[in-house]
């Protein structure tokens, strides 16, 4: 991935439960600073970035298992902003516009 359209770095807060799970996941990865966070999952793609098609396939399966319809990855951006507004323990509200856009 490259920088966003603004070509500026973006920072955002994560809930503690997400941070804890990421720490567990990172502990399972190879001790390599160049290792991909979410590498391909098949033998032929291991050690390479996950393809968009592979990621989208898994996203669509998760949407289906959740009983949702017509959800696209971009919808998560708006949903995340709404969750933060509903539960301010996720992130300080004054930081939302800096990375999430206007709501």
Token output for 34: 């160049």
Binning pLDDT at 50, 70 and 90, where does residue 78 land? confident
Q: Are residues 61 and 79 in the same domain?
A: no
- Within-domain flag for 52: yes
| Domain limits for position 67 | 35-71
Q: Are residues 59 and 83 in the same domain?
A: no
- Within-domain flag for 3: no
Domain count, the chain: 2
Q: Are residues 40 and 63 in the same domain?
A: yes
Q: Are residues 63 and 77 in the same domain?
A: no
- Within-domain flag for 91: yes
In sequence order, what DSSP letters do the residues of 40-75 get, joined into one string? -SSGGGTTSBPPHHHHHHHHHHHHHHTT--S--TTH
Token output for 16: 């503690």
- Within-domain flag for 24: no
- Within-domain flag for 1: no
pTM of the complete model:
0.52
Tens of pLDDT, residue by residue over 44-63, are: 777 777 788 888 898 999 99
Q: Are residues 67 and 83 in the same domain?
A: no
> Given this model, what pLDDT does residue 65 score?
95
- What's the average model confidence in pLDDT over 23-47? 79
């Amino acid at each position: 991935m490259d920088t966003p359209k603004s070509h500026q770095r973006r920072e955002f807060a994560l809930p503690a439960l997400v941070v804890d799970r990421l720490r567990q996941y990172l502990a399972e990865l190879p001790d390599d600073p160049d290792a991909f966070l979410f590498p391909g999952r098949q033998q032929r793609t291991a050690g390479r970035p996950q393809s968009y098609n592979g990621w989208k396939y898994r996203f669509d399966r998760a949407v289906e298992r959740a009983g949702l319809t017509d959800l696209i990855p971009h919808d998560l951006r708006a949903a995340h902003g709404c969750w933060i507004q509903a539960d301010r323990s996720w992130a300080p509200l004054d930081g939302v516009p800096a990375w999430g856009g206007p709501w």
